[in-house]
Amino acid sequence: MTINDNNSRVLLIYTGGTIGMCRNSSTGTLQPFDFSQFSACIPELEHLNIKIDVHTFDPPIDSCDMTPQMWISLVSVIAKVYDDYDGFVILHGTDTMAYTASALSFMFENLTKPIILTGSQLPIGQSRTDGKENIITSVEIAAAKRPDGQAIVPEVCVYFNWKLLRGNRAVKHSSDEFNAFKSFNFPSLANAGVELVYHEANIRRPDPTKPMIPHMSIDNNVVIFSIFPGIREDIIRHVLTTPDLKGVVMRTFGSGNAPQLPWLKEAIAEATSSGKVIVNVSQCMQGCVEMSRYTTGYQLKEAGVVSGHNMTVECAVTKLMCLLSQYSDADTVRKLMTQDLRGELSEQTL
Ligand code: ASP
């Protein structure tokens, strides 16, 4: 389906989510419906000087049902027509949007065009919906170019509630506010008010001499677990000795600390020396892991845990899944997990 026919070209990919949901009359719950029915709710799109083609996932899904296979399908859809469009907008449920945005940021290497994920808290057909503004501005950002013809924002981003955030820095922090996404450890890339203001200094610039490389593999032999007072040895040992487990995102206290339980350090050391990659990410939304600050953090470093610095959990787990699918050597994965590959981490929070 094509919405209008002008100079800039944007591909709008509809995966599902609240934005395109309607109420099931018998259960009263929200469920996804066909995009063609709701595009009619946004006549404003026809007034933009942008040619918009639409690709719909069939069937559209609640993003809780998102899978790594669907991330690969998204990469494949975009890679196939990459040269034909100025940018891409992905309509996505908010629940797992931060995971998809993070995964895509690692699956596209040397990205030169915008990939903007957006959705809404209220369905597009409902009064007071936030969906219209989110879609319209996302399309504008996806089409926006500098005078030299390069994209203004050649990154995977989340646009929501007047803010453009780097995708692998975004987290869904509210289930009921329109302001559903935040980037705690990195400033926004743009803000929409009367004017759309881009914060150039925060936007990554690709190397135009390198080709865009799509990566179409994911290894989901990973787990996320949180440290908490009362954590049990038998359960943690059971998790860490799961056959085929290759990577762990460990959510620790504060600046990367854990209880000083001899069995915990021993179980972690056994797992890392058997080739598992264990990444330390804080349970705090803001700030950075620093394992050398306290003895309670240093013991994890001694056990072979690597720092996730100030990555979000969503980012750490998807980065781990992508790297494990590309490299079989655990030390290489460990090294890359601590390095900034797509603007996803810094050793200090700005
Ligand atoms: N459960 C919905 C989804 O993630 C929520 C939303 O879209 O806001 O698809």
Cβ within 8 Å of residue 45, ≥6 positions away: 3, 4, 39, 52, 135, 136, 139
Catalytic residues: 18
Name the average pLDDT for the chain.
94
Taking 70 as the threshold, does the pLDDT of residue 33 lie above it?
no
pLDDT tens for 249-303 read 999 999 999 999 999 999 999 999 999 999 999 999 999 999 999 999 999 999 9
pLDDT at 144: 96
> Please, are residues 255 and 288 in contact by the beta-carbon 8 Å criterion?
yes
User: Which ligand 1 atom is nearest residue 64's CA?
Assistant: 4
Total domains in the chain come to 2
Task: Identify whether residues 145 and 226 lie together within a single domain.
Answer: no
Residue 41 pLDDT level (bands cut at 50, 70, 90): confident
pLDDT tens for 216-246 read 999 999 999 999 999 999 999 999 999 999 9
Pocket test for ligand 1, best of 95, 97, 126, 173 (most atoms within 8 A of CB): 95
Distances (CA, A) of 275 to 18, 37, 311, 337: 41, 50, 22, 14
From the CA of 94, how far away is ligand 1's center (Å)?
5
CATH number at residue 75: 3.40.50.1170
DSSP H or E stretch at residue 138: helix 131-143
Domain closes at, from 146, 180, 214: 214
Residue 78 has which token pair? 């975009």
Task: Identify whether residues 259 and 195 lie together within a single domain.
Answer: no
Share of the chain above pLDDT 70, in %: 95
From the CA of 41, how far away is ligand 1's center (Å)?
19
Task: Identify whether residues 204 and 269 lie together within a single domain.
Answer: no
Pocket test for ligand 1, best of 62, 91, 121, 314 (most atoms within 8 A of CB): 62
> Please, are residues 141 and 196 in contact by the beta-carbon 8 Å criterion?
yes
Residues within 6 Å of ligand 1 by CB: 16-18, 62-64, 93-95, 119, 121
Cβ within 8 Å of residue 237, ≥6 positions away: 263, 267
163, part of any domain: yes
Taking 70 as the threshold, does the pLDDT of residue 138 lie above it?
yes
Task: Identify whether residues 69 and 162 lie together within a single domain.
Answer: yes
CATH number at residue 268: 3.40.50.40
pLDDT at 5: 47
b/e sequence 5-29, b meaning 16+ C-beta within 10 Å:
eeebbbbbbbbbbbbbbbeeeeeee
Length of the chain measured in residues: 350
Give the Cα separation of 85 and 10 in Å (integer). Answer: 5
Residue 24 pLDDT level (bands cut at 50, 70, 90): confident
pLDDT tens for 42-68 read 888 888 889 999 999 999 999 999 999
pLDDT at 347: 84
From the CA of 66, how far away is ligand 1's center (Å)?
11
Taking 60 as the threshold, does the pLDDT of residue 6 lie above it?
no
Residue 27 pLDDT level (bands cut at 50, 70, 90): confident
From the CA of 19, how far away is ligand 1's center (Å)?
8
Task: Identify whether residues 26 and 124 lie together within a single domain.
Answer: yes
